[in-house]
Amino acid sequence: MSVLPHKEALSPGLTDGRQTLSVKTRKLVIFGALAAAAGFLLFKIAPASLPSLNNSLTNSVSRHSIPAQCADTSPISTTAPRHNVWKNFDVEEATAIREWLWAYKDLNGLGLNLTTSMAATDLDNSIILIENFPPPKADVLGYFDRDGASPQRFAQVVLALGAASPPSFENYLLGPLPEVISKLSLGDASIELKPLRHIYTRPDVPYTARLYTLNGTFTERFLSGASGPHSTTQPRISSAVVYTGAEIHSRILRQWFQLKKNVPGSYLMTLDMYFYVDFTSMDPSEWYLIRMVYNRQVFNTTEDFLEAYLNGTLKRSNLPDVPSSGEEAWAGRERRGHKRDLDERAGPRQVSFNGARYRVDKDNQWITWMGWSFYLSFGRDMGMSLWDVRFRGERILYEISPQEALGVYSGSDPHQASTVFLDRGFGMGIATRALIVGYDCPYDSLLLPATTHSVIGTLQQKDAICVFERDSGKPLSRHTGYLKGEMGAVKGYELVVRTISTVGNYDYLFDYTFQLDGTLEVRVSASGYLQGAWWDDTEMSYGTKIRDTYMGSIHDHIINYKFDFDIAGTRNSLMAISLENEVVEQPWFEDDWGQDVHQQKIVRTMIRNESDALLDYPKNYEGVYAIINEEELNRWGYPRGYAIHPGISPIHLTNLDSKRTKNNVNFAKHHLAVSRRKDSEPSSSSMWNVNLPGAPPVDFYEFFDGESLEQEDLTAWVNLGMHHIPRAEDSPMTLTNIATSSVLLTPFNFNDWDPAMESMNAIVINVPEPGQTWAGNENGVEIEYCLPASCRQVQLQSFEYF
């Protein structure tokens, strides 16, 4: 029976639309009584005076007087369920393939007329790339999921055909290759060398798309030896531009250079002198200077510049910055400034007292941790990729791979205003160097090698990849409650796979962080040197002054990723989940505010066509996109899926109209896009895109041709990046805590409940009875009381050429 009076039992309560004082008073009394009762119950459930929770739990942990040595932190060896079909060739295999190519003769008895890459010039034929070509997905799934035959192996071979007429770059597919590749086994007549064209939207790659010249006379001719090892200056190169087809009848290759000091930290120390060079011709004697710029004065020849200098009409720019005493090494990494209190002590160190909790098949580069499993591969263009990524036995993603690293600069000088870098062309994989243990990765990390086979030969980096488990420093979930089973936490352990590429001035840290609930964070962070520029007052809108005559230029970083989802199979769809405001009338509200309720609601919309799948995140991030399987439901009737959840700095390119990014960076012009997955569309870019803005080999927009996205095999192309507005604190180097971007691939009704509740590294705490102490149930998991191994000395493993 209700103890509250009905409306009719109240005193006459409405006069001119207002409540009388007696009604309001009675409501306040009732509310006060309810609040007091709630407070009394809470007090009874949560007594005010109890023993210290943390003291009670800590004292229950046993300690021995003399600790033993901790368990070995090396990962536990295991065997992959299938061999790694994506793994690159080893040194012996690549050597055998090179020898086969050198000996190759076509049906007419003609060979490839190859010159060794280190001796080749632009006028020669040479090998640019040898790499394992990923097998068709259908063949891999047949092998992995249905015990079919192992897919046939093929090599992708890229040749620079400078001796051909016309010269060009050509892609070939070599195979099928035997399971064991050797000089002897490659004698099989069934092995063929065929053109590989289906992976490009425009497969004909002109020779003017070359990224660099192989001729040693390049800088000697145009900069009079300025780039020599003992010179005081070096040339800095901006992006080249190749005009083709309808843009200009003949193909031309031109590039801006800016001089910089030849000293440590030279990337920051630019000089006010710029050269515009045409090196379209393969013959260095035909290269020529188009113009040069000094202090915003344009000269068509060096003679014009010297004449202005000699006759006194040259307007001199400021003298380059001269560091004051004690600041000579301002652009280096030597410690300077004041010593901080207690900084002479080593900082905290991560220790796995109970030993490693992940397993590794080093030969196949297959890793398992807490329900996760995945394979690794490594390539010349973009470095590390992940394959067959599974959680609790189910494949979530067939492939995760970076596609391109784009940098677009701005400025009022010809170099900054013309700089567009697509680092895939320079090779993020061959730019990977040894990780510094204890700094780049924790001391007990697993270090894995990476091998590439490119124009510089076979490069084997022993410590290219690190794998480690870490405590995130926060619980993955927790609650303080006073009813049985409410209070507790799950530790936020994570497994991180990391590699770092140094491409010129910038260092890119690629992180893949696996979490206990099935979430995978993909993150990229940047460090290294800014691309410096010459400072004067006209540059105020384009960067930040860091010295008297040096500045950092504003630029965008865009790193594009490929996520080939397989959610409960390959038949997937794309859903947009958004929030919308609504006004509804609710009959149970009769207070002063009336019956109208302003609130938000969830709107679920299926995106059924590729033409509608070039996407941006909603304003204020009021929603999310998810890859779902409409035919596979969880227990509660929802399609199982994974959401693409924006993390830190989920940007896209700012300038969408530059002629230098006309068609070659279309992947960067939206936050994300979703297309039908095809073997013929393996990447959003290519190593040649940077110099072909008008007609690139891969035009990303051509992937989107109106095909259905309804229960098809789907690929999401997602951008990370930073709008880098330089600041004084970017000197001497950019900081990874700010220059970072991430996306989280997280379960979205994929499960029936939080799978992290399976973790044994968790605690449940119940309120003790009066006179008792706190006790926590930690599932029998105890941290060993032991002495950890000593830290490894910092010792970089040098890379090896073969």
Q: Give catalytic residues, as residue numbers.
A: 423, 506
- Name every residue whose Cβ is closer than 8 Å to that of residue 356 and which is 6 or more positions away in sequence: 72, 73, 74, 75, 76, 444, 446, 469
- Which of 194, 205, 106 minimizes the C-alpha distance to 155? 194
The two tokens of residue 441 are 């990765």
Distances (CA, A) of 343 to 159, 273, 347, 480, 574: 54, 43, 8, 36, 51
User: Helix or strand or coil: residue 663?
Assistant: coil
- The runs of H, that is alpha helices, within 639-783 are none
The three-state secondary structure class of 314 is coil
In the three-class reduction of DSSP (H, G, I as helix; E, B as strand; rest coil), residue 207 is classed as helix
| Residue 358 to residue 499: CA distance in whole angstroms | 18
**d(C-alpha 202, C-alpha 185), whole Å:** 34
- In the chain, what's the furthest Cα-to-Cα distance? 110
Termini Cα distance of the chain: 89
Cβ atoms 742, 648 nearer than 8 A: yes
For residue 201, the number of C-alpha atoms closer than 13 Å in the C-beta half-sphere is 23
Question: Which residues, in sequence order, are CB contacts of 115 under 8 Å at separation 6+?
Answer: 121, 124, 125, 126
Please tell me whether residue 767 adopts helix, strand or coil conformation. coil
CB 252 within 8 A of CB 242: yes
Q: Where are the beta strands (DSSP E) in 635-709?
A: 639-646, 672-676
Write the DSSP symbol of residue 201. S
Q: Residue 198: helix, strand or coil by DSSP?
A: coil
211 near 690, Cβ under 8 Å?
A: yes
| Tokens 């008008």, residue located | 694
Residue indicated by tokens 């959680």: 391
478 SS3 class: strand
